[in-house]
Structure 1
Amino acid sequence: MTDVFFYHLQSRPLEAALPQLLEKCLERGWRCAVQSGAPERIEALDQLLWTYDEAAFLPHGTDRQPDPARQPILLTTAESNQNGAAVRFLIDGAAIPDPSAYTRVIHLFDGNDSEALERAREAWRAARAGGHEVAYWQQGADGRWVRR
């Protein structure tokens, strides 16, 4: 079964948390896809991943560029798995029809947004009903993740 993780963003924004999570996935040899429903968000994340840390490098591209299958990290608005990702990040309320196509699906949601919180709860219920392993991670005051 697929691991479905829920990351409750509270003390740090997505732009601070996502690059660190992507780094950990690449360290494990996992290809990743980051899905948003907003093309503008994809463009902003594309710029962010080139500049977030002078000492780090996250190889990535968007589904608007040629040959998305070659990208270790693909930023996309599509539900399809164009780069053979093992890990699917879902942001901004994005959803996929079948999480079982991945090793891990990660929902990142803003804990200060009541609509995002409710979407995460619905996704949690659906993942459990689908027989997937679910886990909830919350940011501590220091920005570190704590499994609850």
Structure 2
Amino acid sequence: MTEILFYHLERRPLEQVLPMLLEKSLERGWRCVVQCGSAERRDALDSHLWTYSEASFLPHGTEAQPLPERQPVLIATSEANPNGAQVRFLVDAVPLADASPYARVVHLFDGRDDEQVAKARERWREAKAVAGNELTYWQQDENGRWVRKA
């Protein structure tokens, strides 16, 4: 069974939310892959994860760099899983053909972008149609905290 989570970003941008979720995943001993919609977004997230906090270090690399299989967090544009990730993060409303190899799939979408919201709804319907998936929907409240809505 795959746990599929939808994070509706409203108060904080992806660049603030993603590092926190990646850190929590690594604390649980999970390897992660972040799938982006473009090489430009992949490279921007790669740069951001090196500098987002002076107080922490998030080990990661991209599929364009040598030895992607060694990365605890891999940032990619393809559906490949060379680092054997248990958690797949999807940004830029990218689709995922098969969630079954993962313990958890996390859709992160910008609530201020109508296209991303529409695609997230489509992804929700697709995931719900697959037997065995456990879906949850999280939305930020006025203080930026996550509240489970479904």
**Where do 4+ consecutive residues of structure 1 move more than 4 Å?**
none
Aligned length: 148
TM-score (norm 1): 0.98
Asked if residue 31 in structure 1 is aligned to residue 31 in structure 2, the reply is yes
Corresponding residue for residue 135 of structure 1 = 136
Q: Within 5 Å, give how 1:101-140 maps onto structure 2.
A: 101-131=101-131, 132-140=133-141
Corresponding residue for residue 144 of structure 1 = 145
User: Matches of 2:58 and 2:115 in 1, distance apart?
Assistant: 30
Q: Deviations over 1:101-144 (max 9, x none)?
A: 10000000011111101100011011110021100000122222
Q: CA deviation at 1:93?
A: 1.3
User: Matches of 1:17 and 1:142 in 2, distance apart?
Assistant: 14
SS at 2:100 equivalent: helix
Corresponding residue for residue 69 of structure 1 = 69
Asked if residue 59 in structure 1 is aligned to residue 59 in structure 2, the reply is yes
Q: CA deviation at 1:24?
A: 0.5
RMSD (Å) for aligned C-alpha atoms: 0.7
Where structure 1 has 5 or more consecutive residues not aligned to the other structure, the ranges are none
Q: Within 5 Å, give how 1:41-60 maps onto structure 2.
A: 41-60=41-60
User: Matches of 2:144 and 2:70 in 1, distance apart?
Assistant: 32
Q: CA deviation at 1:66?
A: 0.6
Corresponding residue for residue 97 of structure 2 = 97
Contact 1:61–1:73 (CA<8 Å) still a contact in 2? yes
TM-score (norm 2): 0.97
SS at 1:101 equivalent: coil
Q: CA deviation at 1:146?
A: 1.1
Corresponding residue for residue 21 of structure 1 = 21
Q: CA deviation at 1:91?
A: 0.2
Structure 1: which amino acid aligns with 2:103?
Answer: T
Contact 1:79–1:95 (CA<8 Å) still a contact in 2? no
